[in-house]
Structure 1
Amino acid sequence: MLLTARRIAVALCLVFGAVTASLPLALAAPAVAAPADDVRYAAIVVDANSGEVLYARRADEQRYPASITKIMTLYLVFEQLSQGKLKLTDTITISPRAAAQPPSKLGLSPGQTLTVDEAIQALCIKSANDVALAVAEKIGGSEARFAALMTLRAQELGMTQSRFVNPHGLPDSRQLTSARDIAILSRAMMRDFPQYYSYFGQKSMTFRGQTMRNHNGLLHRMPGVDGIKTGFTNASGYNLAASAVRDGRRLITVVMGGSSTRSRDDNVADLLNTGFEVMRRRQAGEVINVAQNLFEHPTSPNGPVAYASMGPSAQPRDIGDVLSAAQASDSGVAVAATSRMRPIANPEESDPMAMVSGMDAKAKAKVVPAKTTPAKTAPVAKKKKKDPDAIWSVQVGAYKQKSLANNQLKQLSKKFAQHFADADGGVDAGGGWYRARFEGLTKSGAQQACKALKAKKIPCLVMAP
């Protein structure tokens, strides 16, 4: 009875702050209990189907991911499986370095093996750090190479605040993400690899006679919850990315920086219940506008909570210069850098996406040139002879939908016409991604264009021929 009353009160607070779709941005705070005094706290609630953000608090501020990192590790595992590069029955060998990782771990000795299927379960349920490193070495050849893959994939997914340097989330001040980025990753994982999502809902596993219980307590006590991943370090606080289904609707909730396991779980449960109550009232005919597109950021960065109508003019805020530099690792793989990293001498000359195998960076699919319309008053000019050195490109994004890639080209060709006037804008398809690129630039032209984009905090890559 008390729980029901609490849920109703929480939902009413949201409804009280609701407005019709024609009204402007409104700021309000729900009655959901949150550790507001803990500066580490951040949260977001997302409709998994539409990507609509129902609630966001400090969602774009960088946080330490801890073991939520393993969602990205698993994303790359699922990618390998779907491409036929791995099989669930393949074996993974524990290296001495993997065996030396601190808990949580399976505790396997160097030279021991486990199957890919067992490794996935160990990551989802036990959050095994030794297995995470072994998986990284299996797929990437080394931890550094795998971390480069993680960071590049994060950028392709639109995770603008994230950088990975290890596959398990053990403390490292360079490893950063945000609540919004984890929601983006969680939604992408469900969308791209639905056949493997059930692993996250597995409540326990038995490995060589030992039964281990999933760290996600909501799986055991909240109906409808079927994932996703917990995380904790002293620096990060208690993190949880959770997802639940109710009445045919799925929500994703991410809470970072909780003060304890229980308070974190209670907060996530409250946020989920509130979100589902909003969805129920909408379905009943109420016009509740707490809508905020997943890829559109709140226009009031200092407000603790933002409820916003969806608007085409919204622009991302506080996006770090995530690809401002590339730093080569010992294995020869370029690591995408954040603005917090020290750039190398000539960052524009590096091409992380081309150097990491499996990225299809040089795949040449059909490219549709962007159309340009000359001014009516301008005289007809002779066609400018193409510079033979204009064989460089600038990549300005990678998307799962071609329309999004085309829209990015359209927007940037207008805003940065001085740099892309002589370039051919097109979409390069490969590996299930649509990469927006401006081609036909000289090396210096490509570098200058990318520098201009980065000055406006727009990620880009200079690509060699």
Structure 2
Amino acid sequence: MTLGHKGRFGLILSLILVVLFGASIRANAAPYAAMVIDARSGKVLHARNADTRLHPASLTKMMTLYVTFEAIRLGEISLDTKVKISKKAAAEPPSKLGLRAGQSIELRYLIRAASVKSANDAATALGEAVSGSEAAFARRMTRTAQNLGMTKTTFKNAHGLTESGHLSTARDMTKMGRALFYHYPEYYNLFSRRTTDTKVKTVSNTNTRFLNAYKGADGIKTGYTRAAGFNLVASAERGNERIITTVFGGTSTAARNAKVAELMDLGFKRAPTRVAVRKPARPANAATEPRTVIADNDAEGTTAPSGTTSTTIAKGKTIRVSGAPRTSKRPIARPLPQAIETPPELLLAALQQDIEDVVAEVAAAPEMAVAATNAKPKARPAVASQSAAPQVASAGLLNAPALLAPNIKPAARAVMKAPEPMKFAGGPATSTRAKARPTKLILAAANPARTNRTAEPKEQKTVVRASTSGGRHWAISVGKYGTRYKAEKVLLKTALKEIETLGNSTRKVVNRKSGWDATFAGLSERDAELACRRLQARGTPCQTLNPGS
């Protein structure tokens, strides 16, 4: 069987197209780069083209999530914050969650979608929620990268789709994965979840194949675009060893995973069994954008506002600030001093020990107490206390045994009651002339066996512990909050609003099943009711808590 002229021409044309197409694929293949480190010490175990700036693709979302975790830690936003999806976020190309413009969804579900599904619409929504716009968020991402030592990384968006100037390196992305692991271990489990609920739907992990195939693998992030190729930052732990491996420019998912597994084996082989853990330092807060100050050559001492990063340029005689924020936040007030919850135990420990020693001596040898009564009392040093000192000054040391020594047994406290006129055998109770010193002092509390059994029984008195707060047993609650940071922040703001009545109270945050309970304790009934009325008038929720509640 022979081919005609048309058949031969078609075959030749097909071969030419195959050769040209294959050459085009090879020409457009993404550059390869790799990095392997010991996560414990940060030591480099293998590197190839590690400092070449390449397209990171969805590895970008590691920084998107890192900045979001940072914003949560700083109290800028919370996991329960409802985010309204913008048209821009909803219009992002796949991979995506399928969010609709105008839809509201909690921040926690966007985090899950970005980390597990690598959803582009969720990543954009996170950036807009934290910084107001994706552009502002990208600038914050770049500042955070610089603070982490990722010196060759520049971000232009939150999702990682190819954009001019959006570049990173294998070395920088390896640092990014290590920072995520050590700085936010409470969120790291997200990267090993095979599936997760995003409220919209249940999604699967884009890194499931490698997680299932490689022993000890527990993350971190995949990425793919035509310009980047198949990228992966992976982490695995075996025994005491943890290796982080980064690969850029894989030709396929299978080829990339095989290369990462090969480099992981290399890392575990080269890493020492025991090594000191050196966690990477946390970066400085990158929430505030830097300012540029253009100053006159003769304007000596011109500086940018405090708390900002500035660049001074000598030019002309005008001074202007570019990139200034549209709104000025109020400065954070200095926190109020924490009230002392147990002043008797902490402030009067020395006096308590002295009292216990005296009680022990009186109980053991009453004769010694008689001799002690004739000795000239020594002046006691003044005791600085916020609540107990006034009571001691007014009532006298021996009149307040329960206040100064709350742990002394009731029987011993009876000895320390205010002294009554001493009764001596064979003598009157009182006398204007000096009397001979008695030979024995009868103390009923110290030696009950020597008391007169025929005397009429006296009415028994019950000695109870004196209040250390002057009746300040009331408290007020100003609400329950999702995080401890939020509760403490509300307590501080409320204390500044109502410092007149809450200045001497104790701020407490209690973790309950329903949330973090923010309360002010150590208040009198009057102050508690007054504080609540004034706070409610300002729109602050408040509820008084009586001692029995």
Tell me the TM-score normalized by structure 2: 0.47
Give 1:85 shift.
1.8
Deviation string 1:360-415 (CA, Å, 9 cap, x unpaired) is: 999xxxxxxxxxxxxxxxxxxxxxxxx9713448xxxxxxxxxxxxxxxxxxxxxx
Whether the 8 Å contact between 1:206 and 1:212 is mirrored in structure 2 is yes
1:58 is the counterpart of 2:49: yes
Give 1:271 shift.
0.6
Indicate the residue corresponding to 2:217 in structure 1: 225
Distance 1:294 1:46 in 2: 13
Distance 1:189 1:182 in 2: 11
Indicate the residue corresponding to 2:443 in structure 1: none
Whether the 8 Å contact between 1:389 and 1:442 is mirrored in structure 2 is no
Q: 1:283 aligns with which of 270, 273, 277?
A: 273
Paired amino acid for 1:272:
M
1:107 is the counterpart of 2:18: no
Distance 1:179 1:62 in 2: 8
1:137 is the counterpart of 2:128: yes
**Which stretches of structure 1, 4 residues or more, deviate above 2 A after TM superposition?**
206-211, 282-285, 356-362, 390-393, 441-445
Distance 1:93 1:274 in 2: 46
Paired amino acid for 1:107:
G
Give 1:240 shift.
0.3
Q: 2:229 aligns with which of 210, 223, 237?
A: 237
- In structure 2, do the counterparts of structure 1 residues 388 and 190 end up closer, same or farther at CA, with 3 Å as the change threshold? same
Q: 2:255 aligns with which of 246, 255, 263?
A: 263
Q: 1:164 aligns with which of 155, 159, 164?
A: 155
Indicate the residue corresponding to 2:187 in structure 1: 196
Deviation string 1:194-247 (CA, Å, 9 cap, x unpaired) is: 221111111111334733210012112222111111000001000001111111
Distance 2:131 2:199 in 1: 27
1:86 is the counterpart of 2:77: yes
Give 1:250 shift.
1.1
Indicate the residue corresponding to 2:300 in structure 1: 389
1:210 is the counterpart of 2:195: no
Give 1:176 shift.
0.3
1:175 is the counterpart of 2:166: yes
Indicate the residue corresponding to 1:153 in structure 2: 144
My pick for the range that moved more, 105-114 or 162-171, is: 105-114
Distance 1:294 1:58 in 2: 25
Deviation string 1:147-175 (CA, Å, 9 cap, x unpaired) is: 11111111111111111110001121220
Distance 1:57 1:227 in 2: 22
- In structure 2, do the counterparts of structure 1 residues 209 and 86 end up closer, same or farther at CA, with 3 Å as the change threshold? closer
Deviation string 1:101-154 (CA, Å, 9 cap, x unpaired) is: 110001111111222211111011111111111111111111111111111111
Indicate the residue corresponding to 2:322 in structure 1: none
Distance 1:206 1:51 in 2: 34
Deviation string 1:49-82 (CA, Å, 9 cap, x unpaired) is: 1110000000000110111100000011100111
Q: 1:49 aligns with which of 31, 34, 40?
A: 40
Larger Rg: 2
> Aligned runs of 1:403-442 on 2, under 5 Å?
none
Whether the 8 Å contact between 2:109 and 2:199 is mirrored in structure 1 is no
Distance 2:86 2:189 in 1: 28
Give 1:443 shift.
5.2
1:252 is the counterpart of 2:163: no
Q: Alignment partner of 1:283: what SS? A: coil
Whether the 8 Å contact between 2:114 and 2:123 is mirrored in structure 1 is yes
Q: Alignment partner of 1:114: what SS? A: strand
Structure with greater contact order relative to length (CA < 8 Å, sep ≥ 6): 1
Give 1:191 shift.
2.1
Distance 2:245 2:118 in 1: 19
Whether the 8 Å contact between 1:53 and 1:294 is mirrored in structure 2 is no
- In structure 2, do the counterparts of structure 1 residues 388 and 264 end up closer, same or farther at CA, with 3 Å as the change threshold? same
Distance 1:203 1:39 in 2: 28
Indicate the residue corresponding to 2:264 in structure 1: 272
Q: Alignment partner of 1:276: what SS? A: helix
Aligned residues between the structures? 278
Distance 1:118 1:56 in 2: 36
Q: Alignment partner of 2:187: what SS? A: helix
Indicate the residue corresponding to 2:109 in structure 1: 118
1:97 is the counterpart of 2:88: yes
Whether the 8 Å contact between 2:230 and 2:253 is mirrored in structure 1 is yes
Paired amino acid for 1:64:
H
Consecutive unaligned residues in structure 1, runs of 5 or more: 1-34, 286-292, 296-352, 363-386, 394-427, 446-465
Indicate the residue corresponding to 1:12 in structure 2: none
Paired amino acid for 1:283:
T
- In structure 2, do the counterparts of structure 1 residues 357 and 243 end up closer, same or farther at CA, with 3 Å as the change threshold? closer
> Aligned runs of 1:16-31 on 2, under 5 Å?
none
Whether the 8 Å contact between 1:47 and 1:53 is mirrored in structure 2 is yes
% identity of equivalent residues? 43
The two structures, once aligned, show a CA RMSD in angstroms of 3.3
Indicate the residue corresponding to 1:187 in structure 2: 178
Whether the 8 Å contact between 1:46 and 1:294 is mirrored in structure 2 is no
Distance 1:392 1:51 in 2: 37
- In structure 2, do the counterparts of structure 1 residues 246 and 143 end up closer, same or farther at CA, with 3 Å as the change threshold? same
- In structure 2, do the counterparts of structure 1 residues 443 and 235 end up closer, same or farther at CA, with 3 Å as the change threshold? closer
Tell me the TM-score normalized by structure 1: 0.55
Consecutive unaligned residues in structure 2, runs of 5 or more: 1-25, 293-297, 316-549
Q: Alignment partner of 1:194: what SS? A: coil
